[in-house]
Amino acid sequence: MALSYQRRLISEQDYLEGERLSTIRHEYINGDVYAMAGASKNHDRIAGNVSRKLGNHLENTPCEPFSSDMKVKVGKDFFYPDVIVVCDDKTEDEYYTESPIIIVEVLSKSTRRTDQTLKRLAYQNLPSLQEYVLIEQDFVDVEICRRERHWQSEHYYLGDEVYFVAIDLRLPVEVIYARVVNDDMREFLARRNEELNGNE
């Protein structure tokens, strides 16, 4: 005989109240709550590099970056992107926004599929969003999907400059990956050292 299971969905209000008290971050999708896993050093390096450069660039402007503790509300769901940029936030709640213009997600093996599918589709429904950025941590690949290009993917690699159109900022890929330890960065740094030593 088949057993029937009844899901106990959590209300949006209960979720938001619980998040303010919890020491662990949770995303809220279709009434279900999902705990967020801890991040690797490379993950934090990339997110920190991007957040720092965005913050420096946006000083004395109406726009500001937020890190992974700020929620983004999409419809009835709530996500914790790694970095966002908000320029005209009319959301009254201090713990989430509904109007980011840039969202950055640093990918890992455990999050890649969700970030590339479920979250990509959800974020594209935000009227404010101009650019969705996905950054691999295990190898060098920066992908940007822009509203003005109908969300078509553009990829950037070492030697390229990433252009954040929404805030008119250019960042070399190597700056995004500063201090990151993976095979691509090891080869890049070794090659650069050889070039520098050859010019001495």
Neighbours of 2 (CB within 10 A): 3
- CA angle at residue 123 from 120 to 128, to 5 degrees? 140
159: domain CATH number is 3.90.1570.10
The pLDDT value given to residue 3: 43
Contact of 93 with 101, CB cutoff 8 Å: no
The pLDDT value given to residue 193: 87
The one-character DSSP state at 12 is H
Q: What's the CA gap between 145 and 118, in Å, rounded?
A: 15
Per-residue pLDDT band at 2 (split at 50, 70, 90): very low
Query: How many domains does the chain fold into?
Result: 1
Q: pLDDT tens digits for 53-72?
A: 999 999 999 999 999 899 99
Is 152 inside a domain boundary? yes
Query: Could you tell me the residue range of the domain that residue 36 belongs to?
Result: 12-198
Six-digit token pair at 89?
């936030």
Is 6 inside a domain boundary? no
From the list 176, 174, 200, the residue with the least C-alpha distance to 189 is 174
pTM: 0.91
Mean pLDDT of the chain, nearest integer = 91
Q: pLDDT tens digits for 23-33?
A: 899 999 999 99
